[in-house]
Structure 1
């Protein structure tokens, strides 16, 4: 026990001496907290807000809210009450009400809206931002662009929004979406231009060129105004992309240049005059460029030339790559479709192409696109000139340009030439309209046509 205590005291003494020696030898190093450079972290959304606050939204809003109206569409349908009325037609009339927005574009009361807002209307009512209501009349529509023109009458001038140039809009530019949804009086939301020349294929395969924006647009805003910060009309709000039916971040507007051209055609001609180059085209990408042996990956490549068209007469050739139209850049087909959508037949367009690595510009006179839809068959057809018919060995017929329904699209009828309907000769689209107008809507349709391989066929649609 004494031996253990002795060892413990020796250990304690050795530890004390060691610790004391370490402290004597240790060099004092004072600890200091030096001031660090101040960092200012600004959330990214505050940057956007700062830029927005430097833009005068109030002036643009004040200029436009009173010219955007609420459009009420009253349709009348008949509800069958018995089996006889179900098969023969008739029944109790039933009123259905739809609504949307519209934009007054002239002091005498002309209003642009969407075709789907006023479709099948028996009566149209327009309510202004001051809650005054007017009965409107339908002037004309163009389902292809989803644009309609209506008119109201009043004692004085109406507030209106002047047109801007939609070709001048830039990505990132601030815009306002002005609508009059659900008769709540005009509502304004802000956003930026997210994309230009956006093609939405769900519109029955109809090639379009929309302005895309992140300004909030909901169902009742259809037909409302997309305006720049100067209060100029640069688009007609038309569609949203959403799985829920409500706004989730993207909305789409028909460019004002296209909408303006549509209504001017309706007022002058009663229908829309579409000018085309007369070519078959495809978009360029790396795969196509490699196959063609070209370096370009942006632009529209010409896959074929229609005989007798403006493209044919101007000297455009298969394999040419279209890069510009009147100096406006063309990166994809939607760019070209959007620009040509603001042009008319007989307009001359300067087409800049690349051919064999060399850039050149050729003037092309646009020709009229003459089409009509055969709704009962779910197809659209166009007239053919003599040269096109001769090339296929035919003396008459109209060509199917596109399918109007997913069911018909499966049959891939584009390019076939219809020579007869119900055993009557078809020379042009006027013959098509006449034949279809005379038939009993319950009777089958017999269609005789030449397919793309040159074989004659007959289909009977029941």
Structure 2
């Protein structure tokens, strides 16, 4: 086996040994004059931080996020390099029951909670534990895998303590920041450090549209989804990932900016899904070869490689070879700076893009398009079908949004979208969030109410025939409801 050290971006959930009885702990040094005192921030905000526990009783859906094994690794090594936060506490096959732990924080007194999508992705049940040791069942209101944000909701608990939301755009390298979370299950652990960099794009395939806050705050398994505070006690980020060659914290941690997270939350609450802007270009960094060929003064910007037909870029006149130097007033220092800025732009917004073409500066006004929505994203915004028959099938549905309807070529009033698959029979049949149900027992369903009526009389032992559309393919799928509504 090669001794070459693999350096890998991973989310924090590595199974590691805890402290042994004989371990010697170093004594904390006295506080030095001039260093910040974090006690007030912790006392005020710790009650609004929760430990998130996600339980899986069936095989994880195909759409679940995860880190694939690296080539050349044996199964034992591949297990070590799985996604970090939210990983099972003990290694087990994917189809066995398991539990994962993460962190989260309450953003409103009525029980809305933010955590990472990968903490709860595909979970059958989610519970949160408060500082006063109350354990509450949480409902997953919505998720977005692209930004790795999940919105939870707890009810029946009275008014809850909530954090104060800050402004991540004001962060600067060198500022003190503080994390509260549950690394390795040690709840309400406090760690501190400084902002190492802002606007850090990791170039990952999972999150190409996120500009992270980089810190040296110690982050480990179980911190995922927890809050990052500034010295004013305001949340400025959601702790998400580390960069490590060993699987443990090595001084480099990444948090999702709270401005981005709250944008996701607002969209999940209001329309049930997240839209992102799309320019419609393929780009590459401006490297030394490009600098020489185009006789540029320095390596700055993103050079356009291709322009998609019919895209916002083509309509605005962007061409291959154009060097994008600024987007909506923001300088593009490197290619990775552009995707997050475009993604965060509301579709339909017209923005100025400064380009260099044939050695001359030029500004184009571009009306940003809409990025195709992630079919694995789900949300429940009060349009679900909670009828007894639908519960027996183990399905939750919602109306088909206009974007999905257009992509699938559906007519208005045609079909309902699956937002959650809770039943094992439905999961084993291959149904997934994003699938569209067109018919129930040969009766067309074009609304949540129609689906509710069509499934109202479904009971244990019944077999229901569904016509399901996925992408360009439609297929009949039969579901038999388990006796006594118990799945084995």
Structure 2: state its 5+ residue gaps. Answer: 1-28, 60-94, 377-402, 408-467, 479-488
Secondary structure, counterpart of 2:165 in structure 1:
coil
Determine helix, strand or coil for the equivalent of 1:331: coil
- The 1:221–1:296 alpha-carbon spacing in structure 2 relative to 1, beyond 3 Å, is same
> How many residues in Structure 1 have an aligned counterpart in Structure 2?
327
* 2:54 is equivalent to residue 73 of structure 1: yes
Q: Aligned to 2:300, which of 285, 298, 303?
A: 298
Report what 1:261 is aligned to. 263
Moved over 4 A (4+): 48-51, 201-207, 371-374, 436-440
Q: Look up the match of 1:62.
A: 43
- Match of 1:220, SS state, is coil
- Partners of 1:319 and 1:121 lie apart in 2 by 46
- What is the alpha-carbon distance in structure 2 between the residues aligned to residue 306 and residue 173 of structure 1? 41
Report how far residue 95 of structure 1 moved.
3.5
Q: Is the 8 A contact 1:197 1:334 kept in 2?
A: no
Give the aligned partner of residue 215 of structure 1. 217
Name which of 226, 243, 246 aligns with 1:244. 246
Asked if structure 2 preserves the Cα contact closer than 8 Å seen for 1:208 and 1:334, the reply is: no
1:357, CA displacement in angstroms?
4.2
State whether residues 66 and 186 of structure 1, in contact with CA within 8 Å, keep that contact through their aligned partners in structure 2.
no
Shift, 1:118, TM fit:
0.7
Given the superposition, is the C-alpha separation of residues 365 and 163 from structure 1 closer, same or farther in structure 2, using an over 3 Å criterion? farther
Q: Which has the higher helix share?
A: 1
CA positional deviation for 1:372: 5.1
- Counterpart among 473, 477, 483 of residue 435 in structure 1: 473
Equivalent position SS for 1:311: helix
Query: Structure 2 length normalisation: TM-score?
Result: 0.60
Q: Which fold has the larger relative contact order, with Cα–Cα distance below 8 Å and residues 6 or more apart in sequence?
A: 2
Q: 1:171 aligns with which of 163, 170, 173?
A: 173
Q: State the Cα distance separating 1:152 from its structure 2 match.
A: 0.8
Larger CA Rg, structure 1 vs 2:
1
Cα shift at 1:155:
4.2
Aligned residue in 2 for 1:127: 129
Question: Matches of 1:94 and 1:148 in 2, distance apart?
Answer: 24
Does structure 2 retain, via aligned residues, the 8 Å contact 1:174–1:192? yes
Q: Is the 8 A contact 1:242 1:248 kept in 2?
A: yes
Q: CA deviation at 1:128?
A: 1.2
Counterparts in 2 of 1:282 and 1:273: CA distance versus 1, 3 Å: same
CA contact (8 A) 2:225 2:238 kept: yes
Distance 1:342 1:61 in 2: 31
CA contact (8 A) 1:209 1:337 kept: no
For 1:216, what is the secondary structure of its paired residue? coil
| Rounded Cα–Cα distance in structure 2 between residues aligned with 1:50 and 1:330 | 40
Instruction: Give the Cα–Cα distance (whole angstroms) in 2 for the partners of residues 364 and 50 of structure 1.
Output: 53
Separation in 2, partners of 1:300, 1:167: 23
Structure 1, unmatched stretches of 5+, are: 1-45, 79-92, 375-381, 387-429, 441-462
How has the CA–CA distance of structure 1 residues 312 and 63 changed in structure 2, closer, same or farther, with 3 Å as cutoff?
farther
Q: Distance in 2 between matches of 1:232 and 1:205?
A: 25
Measured after TM superposition, the shift of residue 186 of structure 1 is: 1.7
Aligned in 2, Cα 1:321/1:210: closer, same or farther, shift over 3 Å? same
* CA displacement, residues 440-459 of structure 1 (integer Å, 9 cap, x when unaligned): 9xxxxxxxxxxxxxxxxxxx
Relative to structure 1, the CA distance from residue 104 to residue 360 in structure 2 (aligned partners, 3 Å threshold; closer, same or farther) is farther
CA–CA distance in structure 1, aligned partners of residues 215 and 475 of structure 2 = 42
Q: What per-residue deviation string (whole Å, max 9, x for no partner) do you get for residues 145-193 of structure 1?
A: 2211111114432222233232222122221122134553322211111
Give me the TM-score of the superposition, normalised by structure 1. Answer: 0.63
Deviation at 1:266, TM superposition (A): 1.7
